Structure 1
Amino acid sequence: MKLSPLALIAAAAFAAIPAAHGGDNPAATRPTEVRGVKLASICAACGVVSDTRVETRAGKGTGVGAVGGAVVGGLVGHQIGSGKGNTVATVLGAVGGGVAGNAIEKKARKETVWSTTVTFKDGTIRTFEQTTAPGLDAGDVVTVRDGRPVKRAL
């Protein structure tokens, strides 16, 4: 049986990948404290907010901006030149207007998203995103209710 050079290269690449270590202890890498809160001191279903961020994201275009921009761009382009030059200007105006209209629509539909990262007692980490301010700060002890982190009454 003759092996192709590609098969030999693939075999060498797989041989170079280090094997998983059976002696690794994932519990040793789990945090014991987050933002000054000892995880052992909180309830089993609780977590600690380790990070909060707010960011603005471009909205999604629905096509209305692109169509509107294309119509306006085509009308403006049609006012330029005559004959074939007029046709080219109309097409370029429509394409440019469509691209510009789509970009304007996305900017007009931007949304603010709050990301809250929570480290739970068992060491798992989850990030929750929502479009309203969660009212949480780093170090707050939380539980998850209806898919959102909620400050736990102490």
Structure 2
Amino acid sequence: MSKYAVVVTILCALTLSGCVSNLSGTTYSRSEARQVQQVQYGVVQSAIPVVIEGTGGVVGGATGAVVGGIAASNVGGGRGKDIATVLGAVAGGVAGKKAEEMLTRAQGQEITVRLDNGNMVSIVQEMDGGPAFAAGDRVRVLTRAGTARVTY
């Protein structure tokens, strides 16, 4: 692989890692800061481990296509080189999309809470390295514009 291909691969990997978002209960986007949230209290009834699937956006596929095309362009000559470049780009695009999905996949919990008003809600959120929720935990459920999170 040429030096150029190595540099492109590294830059693409760094770009892809920048696409990873956090869906935990303790991470807020800039637009969520300083916004009013409704607060309800309750008790966790169950907390089940889940996997939150990763994103399958354009970045991984495009990155893979570029890297695959560059790598395959060094194969053969003439018309065969052109065909290898196209096939390398297609294969790289498929592999890059799968890599993005795997890199952005996260461990989460499906947390079912019985609110103090008697209603039951279930919220899936990413685990952020802190303690996992467990049945019997007293928690807050914060909601705003269709988004909810569970916190202590």
Find the counterpart in structure 1 of residue 119 from structure 2.
124
Question: Is structure 2 residue 139 aligned with structure 1 residue 139?
Answer: no
Give identity over the alignment, percent: 37
**Cα 1:127/1:82, change in 2 over 3 Å:** same
Tell me how far apart the structure 2 counterparts of residues 87 and 108 of structure 1 sit (CA, whole Å): 31
Task: Pick the aligned partner of 1:75 from 65, 70, 73.
Answer: 70
| Alpha-carbon distance in 2 for matches of 1:140, 1:50 | 8
4+ runs deviating over 6 angstroms: none
Runs (5+) with no aligned partner, structure 2: 1-39
Q: Which has the higher contact order (CA 8 A, sep 6+)?
A: 2
TM-score if structure 1 supplies the norm length?
Answer: 0.54
Q: Which runs of 5+ in 1 are unaligned?
A: 1-44
Structure 1 residue 116, shift from structure 2 partner: 0.7
Aligned residues: 107
Whichever residue aligns with residue 93 of structure 1, its letter is: G
Question: Structure 1, residues 124-149: CA drift from partner, whole Å, max 9, x if none?
Answer: 32112333356532133445345444
Letter in 2 for 1:51: S
| Residue of structure 2 in register with 1:35 after alignment | none
